[in-house]
Amino acid sequence: MGRPERPVTMRTRQSAALAQYLRVLRQRSGRTYAELGRSTGMTPSRLSRAASGDSVPSLAVVEQYAKGCGADKQEMAELRKLWRAARGGRAPALAVERPMHITLIDTPKDLWTAMVHLHRKLGCPPLRELERRAGGHGQLPRSTLNLVLRGLAQPSRDLLEHFVRACDVPPAEINRWLEAWDRVHTPRSVVMQDPELRRFMRLLRHSGTTEAAIRRALYPAPMAAPRLAEAFRSASGYQQVPLPGQTQLFVY
């Protein structure tokens, strides 16, 4: 007889309900995790984690788990409902704002928000699992990552790269995350610390922003020409932008 299963982790009420439902299905089937693993093609440890409450497993894992336990259509429908609720659940300690688009991030808070949101999007997998995905050997130390995700430390560039790779960010998107880190850690001039200028520069960096939208952002109080000139010299990707009441300013 195997050792008793430890109590479900109450990370959120929704994730705990999903884990408990999975356990009920397995206990009713009378199967051990080893037997369930043989019928589903998954490792016993992965199936055990799915029903632990530590994180929200993928829907594919939940469905395979349930099928291996002989769940009927009604039970499968209930499981999907619980899974959606668990994915949408929010742990109080990790309450964050809606993340900004990665190309607009330029502050430590914005970068932290994006990292926490990415972690949640995956169902908050255990940090040990992310460390394993990153290749181990200190590539993504979970003790440091824990501090970063709690907002108690800032990530290094290498840690951020290993984190987004472990979170299955597409290779084409990884450079955008690293560029965001570079913007966060690039010293700004006194002018660029101006909130209105920073808002304007975010519009410039957004590839979908039209010139009309930029002009609307400047009203009702267009910025003084010297400040605009310095802002434009700091920008990239635009050859020239017409401004209300101003001649065209060139981006160097």
Using a 10 angstrom Cβ sphere, with 0-12 exposed, 13-18 middle and 19 or more buried, the burial of residue 240 is exposed
Are 38 and 110 in a shared domain?
no
The mean pLDDT of 100-118, rounded to a whole number, is: 87
Are 236 and 214 in a shared domain?
yes
150, 184, 218 - which closes a domain: 184
125 or 252, which is more confident? 125
How many domains are there within the chain? 3
Query: Does a structural domain hold residue 6?
Result: no
Q: Distance between CA 132 and CA 140 in Å, rounded? A: 8
Predicted pLDDT at 27: 92
Are 176 and 196 in a shared domain?
no
Q: What is the CATH number of the domain that holds 61?
A: 1.10.260.40
pLDDT tens profile 176-211: 999 999 888 876 544 455 566 666 666 655 545 444
Are 195 and 179 in a shared domain?
no
133, 161, 184 - which closes a domain: 184
Are 112 and 180 in a shared domain?
yes
Query: Does a structural domain hold residue 8?
Result: no
Q: Which domain holds residue 221?
A: 191-250
Q: What is the CATH number of the domain that holds 111?
A: 1.10.260
160, 184, 208 - which closes a domain: 184
Q: Mapping DSSP to helix (H, G, I), strand (E, B) and coil, where does residue 217 land?
A: helix
Q: Distance between CA 202 and CA 55 in Å, rounded? A: 34
Query: Does a structural domain hold residue 95?
Result: no
Predicted pLDDT at 96: 54
Query: Does a structural domain hold residue 149?
Result: yes
The mean pLDDT of 6-12, rounded to a whole number, is: 78
Are 126 and 145 in a shared domain?
yes
Best CA proximity match to 25, nearest among 60, 64, 58, 81: 64
Query: Does a structural domain hold residue 2?
Result: no
**pLDDT at residue 69 above 90?**
yes
Q: Which amino acid is at 90?
A: R
Are 179 and 107 in a shared domain?
yes
**pLDDT at residue 218 above 50?**
no
Are 204 and 161 in a shared domain?
no
